[in-house]
Amino acid sequence: MTDDISKQKQESESFDRLMRGLILVSKDELDAEEKKYKKAQRKQKNGDSVFKNKDS
């Protein structure tokens, strides 16, 4: 029983570390996504299609 508990504790600790790492890495990505989203919202307000293909 104690093996299960210590294993769970280890897993949750490594998960926490992983999530912190992901949060640090994805901060820049989030900023980029936010800019894209806001740009898309502006386009929608202006009546442009958000789903227009870039190559067409």
The answer to the question of residue 31 being in a domain is yes
Q: How many domains does the chain have?
A: 1
Contacts of residue 43, defined as CB under 8 A and 6 or more positions apart, other chains included, come to 49, 50
- Who wins on pLDDT, 11 or 53? 11
pLDDT tens digit string along 12-47?
Answer: 888 888 777 776 666 777 788 889 888 888 887 777
Alpha-carbon gap, residue 48 to 13, rounded angstroms: 47
- pLDDT computed for residue 56 by the predictor: 46
Structural domain range at position 37: 6-45
Alpha carbon of 4 to those of 1, 12, 14, 16: distances in Å? 5, 12, 15, 18
Q: Tell me the torsion sign for CA atoms 37, 42, 43, 47.
A: positive
The answer to the question of residue 56 being in a domain is no
pTM as predicted: 0.35
The letter for the amino acid at 25 is: V
